[in-house]
Amino acid sequence: MNQRLRIVFFGDPTHEYSNRMFNYLMSHPQVSVVGVVASCPRSVSSHLWHRAMRRLRRLRDRLMRRRSTPSFIHMAAARSIESLQIRKIHTAAALDWLRARNADLFLCVAYPYILRRALYDLPPLGTVNIHPSLLPAYRGSHPVFWALRNGERSIGVTAFRVNDGIDTGPIIAQCRVPVLRGDTFWRAYVRIMQATQELLNCVIETARAGELVGVPQDESAATWFPPPRLSHYFLYTFRVMCSWFWP
């Protein structure tokens, strides 16, 4: 493939992971992002939760003098890239919009909705999802949190082809990330995002060579975790703080 790889990006505009990876793709010389698909809050309570979390992140960034990445929806609009923000992604209108993008590949980063075959098989190279764990371990929700809470010594990120299961598709590439003593969730996630950039380079090169086949996952080693409850966060935070004072 001599031309740029045409990608439609799927993500969560409130998630730093999605926004950073979109920003990285925009600077990649071998990629042309031809459309973005953004998730929506699923309910009023979810909408209020996202608003509260955005305000907390802004406060955190001000206190730590850290700047968050702008929403990829805003970055796409600034570059005149068409976007679609919709809850029901499998409608006929949404599928027609995706076909009109004439993409080579769909790429998902922190996109919370399950994709059906009619959608993930649309582009010639299929659909690739980026999952922040060493699959088949830690399938499901919030894998970085669960890995840290369970005391894993290494975490990682996996690129895999989307299929009918949840995080079960053939693995294209993986990158292992060490867990450092006293790691917070954010510190670990920063290293995950740095590793994901390297992983995306591998995915892009493999896609341009037309070799996005992947290796089947070992189902005997698979683990799955649900969304964590608030009590899980409190217990994990207490354990991390204790490790700072009592080695």
Q: What is the CATH number of the domain that holds 71?
A: 3.40.50.170
Residues of the chain above pLDDT 70, percent:
81
**pLDDT for 70:** 82
**pLDDT for 245:** 46
Q: Give the Cα separation of 158 and 137 in Å (integer).
A: 10
Q: How many CA atoms lie within 13 A of 92 on its CB side?
A: 0
For residues 232-243, average pLDDT:
56
pLDDT at residue 135 above 50? Answer: yes
Q: Give the Cα separation of 192 and 4 in Å (integer).
A: 26
pLDDT digits (tens, 9 = 90+) for 204-226: 999 999 889 999 999 999 999 98
Q: Is 201 exposed, middle or buried (0-12, 13-18, 19+ CB in 10 A)?
A: middle
Average pLDDT over the chain reads 86
The H or E element spanning position 59 is helix 44-64
Pairing of strands 154-161, 139-140: unpaired
**pLDDT for 174:** 96
Q: Give the Cα separation of 136 and 70 in Å (integer).
A: 31
**127 pLDDT band (50/70/90 cuts)?**
very high
Apex 193 CA angle, 190 and 194, nearest 5: 90
**pLDDT for 86:** 87
The whole-model pTM stands at 0.86
**pLDDT for 46:** 47
Least confident among 38-52, 78-92, 124-138, 142-156: 38-52
DSSP 124: T
Q: Give the Cα separation of 218 and 235 in Å (integer).
A: 31
If one counts the domains in the chain, the total is 1
Least confident among 76-85, 184-193, 236-245: 236-245
**pLDDT for 59:** 59
pLDDT at residue 42 above 90? Answer: no
Longest pairwise C-alpha distance within the chain: 58
Q: Give the Cα separation of 45 and 43 in Å (integer).
A: 5
For residues 168-179, average pLDDT:
96
Q: Give the Cα separation of 98 and 100 in Å (integer).
A: 5
Query: Closest Cα to residue 129, out of 83, 185, 182, 172?
Result: 172
Apex 195 CA angle, 190 and 200, nearest 5: 125
Tokens representing 64 are: 């730590």
Q: For residue 146, what are the domain limits? A: 5-245
pLDDT at residue 47 above 70? Answer: no
**pLDDT for 237:** 60
pLDDT at residue 44 above 50? Answer: no
**115 pLDDT band (50/70/90 cuts)?**
very high
**244 pLDDT band (50/70/90 cuts)?**
very low
